[in-house]
A and B are shown apart, each in its own frame.
Chain A
Amino acid sequence: MSVTAASQPATDEAPTRRRVRRAPGSPGRRPLTGLMFVAPTGVIVAGLFLVPLAILVYMSFTDWPLLASPTPNGVDNYRNLAHDDRFVGAIGFTLLYTAITTVVLFAIAFALVAISNSHRRGTRFYRTAFFLPYVVGTAAASTMWWVDSSDSLGVFNRILEAVGLIHKPVGFLDTPGKALFSVITLVVWKFIGFQVLVLLVGVQSIPNELYEAARVDGASTWQRLRYITVPGLKPTLALLTVLSVTGSLLAFDQFFVLTHGGPDNSTVTVVLALYNKAFQSFRLGDAAAEAVVLLVALILLNFIQLRLLRNRENS
């Protein structure tokens, strides 16, 4: 990028002269200068990502107990994964969770965008209210939810009892279904603000003239939505889908803090399974293998998603 920008002032000159002038200098000096500029980033990426990644991959081919010294064991860890019911179950649960979360987040976000994009009074208040939970950390929010949803300590049951909807505590974390429901309410409350904000920016970046022109041509509300808003929002929707899917596949805090993977191991996500393998069972080699599998899956998924989105934009 910077190279193109730097060479742009030279476009006025004759092509031949430019080629002559650049030939002796650029292959020697320019790349070196460029390298020096990217070197700090390169060092950081290498030190904090590539080297640890290499260690992780190495770990995944060893039997690595936390306290003893590691011994290489080939592809045993990967073979174990295929027979690990907990890990396979976690993949299924994580996909289910990702699907539900993504759909629910979008559905609610659209409704809230409609509210906060109107010109009624109180719009600013709503926007702030929707966004506020986003600044709470996930672990802190999960702890809040854990306390609030408790039968004996929490306010959720008290409120529902006070308005007469229930007569005894619900037990928000007692069954797999209720636990998943509680996590999804937490995630919606926590992340909806970001979703709404990004969508709002997307909606407002669509030029008003288009709507006016359409209205003049007699387009109905539905037609304006179908032919102006949705196409105009495509890049935004693409971005949010990628973020939401990736974030949900990597979900950890809310399950670790709120459900501990329970009840009866019904809410164990892939990252929670990986964490347990490493820090409950202390089998670092197996955990590393899971991490590698997860990494590869995420890279593939993001590649496919971006590819699909790019095609759509081109067409």
Chain B
Amino acid sequence: MAPGTDRSAAPAGARRRGLLSVAAVAAALTLAVAACGSGGSKSTSSNPDDGTQLTMWVRSATDQFSQRLVDAYNQSHKNQVKLTIIPNDNYLTKVGAAAGSHSLPDILASDVVYTPNYTKQGLFADITSDIKALPYFSSIAQSHITVATYQGKIYAVPHKLDSSVLFYNKDLFTKAGIDKPPANFADILADARKITALGNGVTGFDIAGSCGGCGVYTLFPYAWAAGVDILPDNGKKVNINNDAFKAVFTLYKQLTDEKLVDSSDKAQDGSTWPANFEAGKVGMLALGSPIVGDLLKQTSFQWGVTPLMAPDGSKTSTFIGGDVAGIAATSKHQAQAWDFLKWTLDDNAQVEIIAKNGDLPGRTDLSGNKYTAADPRTKLIADGLKNGHTPFALPFGDLFNNPNGPWVETIRAAIYGNDVNKALSDGQAKIQAGLDAAG
């Protein structure tokens, strides 16, 4: 895996030479601060940048994102981070096996929805005092800090932040004679009808009909915006059998029944979800900030974003997803690993590496940075984070992301079955049973 990673990284590194010199200066400044800040508690030497080889694991969902950070750090530091990218589906298995044999890497990233499993098992080292000593501690993405906190201690920092929104194709909107983005469910339905009527294989909307993770990412925000607490009681209860979800699935069912979505949507498992929108054939697509980078690169059509809204449009919300990164409790290089994590949070890495590529900074005080603020679309996504949520439940992946799990079953029964009410009450019972079984 490593040789392939190195090869693909090389040209990207060359392109960013200008950026790296900036990074180096900032990193030098950072080091001076770091030497003062975290000197006492953990480091074995006064300077944690002492040429240590660090290992880091990330899942493939963040591969290029993580690679950019690691490359820039390696260029400007004596410490060298060796990044290993593990396929999404195998990540937990691999971490579990490594935890059993005490062979975890120094730095371990984790999808936010799985993080509570790791903190509960004590895989991460406690970094509470280090992170609280950071001058910008209060503005580090609260959603990620919350999932990385267990029994009052903080175990990880935000690695990647993403957020779900509604993308729309401005060209198709103009052609269909619509002059503003949809503000509520009635708008979505009306706009989807007008855009589908354009013909030529264009559809108004796009639904991932066989993808639990997609459903969580893009359907939960509608309900949150309507004031529903979907996983109350610290993730021990589930609440999907309510008016908000009924409205959501009634809309999605209607979009499907009226053929305002592509026929392939029913089997869409998420792997090719944005393809039709990126090809300019879809009017509206609820997805998230990870596709912004690709959309910015294409020039064939104009696009806009608008927040995911409550059915009546009264409020908006978003799913704040992404990854956190922590130091493995078994790592022998805790001070050096913290040096890397801290560097990723500093202004330079956040702005010049993360925001510049169209991704969201992991700190709220940087949401007005020159790259994010320059584009009203990325600014809208960044500003929306304040209304966002990250769900929590220990068996989250098994119940919601699992392609054979009860949530996918619920989505499909509600959209492709005959009875939304029954689908939701069945789903409510099955997911609750899963939460109860996990204790």
Q: Which residues of A contact B (CB under 8 A)?
A: 66-68, 86, 150-153, 168-169, 171, 173-174, 260-265, 268, 272, 276, 279-282
Would B263 and A151 count as touching, CB distance under 8 A? yes
Question: Which residues of chain B come closer than 8 Å to A261, judged between CB atoms?
Answer: 403-404
Give the residues from 72 to 110 in chain B that come closer than 8 angstroms, CB to CB, to chain A. 89, 92-93, 95-96, 99
Count, A-B residue pairs, CB within 8 A: 73
Extra contacts, 13 of them, besides A153-B272, A263-B210, A282-B92 (Cβ < 8 A), are A66-B96, A86-B404, A150-B272, A151-B262, A151-B263, A168-B263, A171-B264, A260-B403, A261-B403, A264-B413, A280-B397, A281-B395, A281-B402
Among B93, B99, B117, B118, point to the contact of A279 (Cβ < 8 A). B93
B266–A174 CB distance below 8 A: yes
Contact A169:B267 (CB < 8 A) given known A67-B96, A86-B404, A282-B92: no
In contact, B121 and A67 (Cβ under 8 angstroms): yes
| 10 smallest beta-carbon distances between A and B, as pairs | A151-B264, A66-B96, A260-B403, A67-B121, A152-B264, A280-B402, A261-B404, A281-B398, A173-B267, A151-B263
A287 → chain B closest CB, angstroms = 12
Q: How far in angstroms is the closest Cβ of chain A from B194?
A: 22
Contacts of A281 in B (CB 8 A): 395, 398, 402
User: Which of B123, B267, B409 neighbours the largest number of chain A CB atoms within 10 Å of its CB?
Assistant: B267
Q: B89 to chain A: which residues have CB within 8 Å?
A: 279
Are the C-beta atoms of A150 and B96 separated by less than 8 Å?
no
The A contact surface, by secondary structure, is loop
Q: Given the complex of chains A and B, what is the CA–CA distance between A35 and B77 in angstroms?
A: 58
Q: Which B positions have Cβ atoms within 8 angstroms of A?
A: 89, 92-93, 95-96, 99, 117-118, 121, 123, 210, 262-264, 266-267, 269, 272, 275-276, 395, 397-398, 402-405, 408-409, 412-413
Closest chain A CB from B105 CB (angstroms):
16
Q: CB distance B404 to A265 under 8 Å?
A: yes
Bound state CA distance, A260 and B263, in angstroms?
A: 19
Q: With A168-B263, A262-B210, A263-B412 known to touch, is A282 a contact of B403 (CB < 8 Å)?
A: no
B198 to chain A, nearest CB (A): 18
Are the C-beta atoms of B121 and A260 separated by less than 8 Å? no
CB of B424, distance to nearest CB on chain A (Å): 16
> Residues of A contacting B272 with CB < 8 Å?
150, 152-153
How far does the Cβ of B298 sit from chain A's closest Cβ, in whole Å?
Answer: 18
B403 and A262 form a contact (CB under 8 A): yes
A163 to B333, CA, bound (A): 65
A58 vs B276: C-alpha distance when bound (angstroms):
49
The listed residue (A68, A152, A169, A268) touching B404 by CB distance below 8 A is: A268
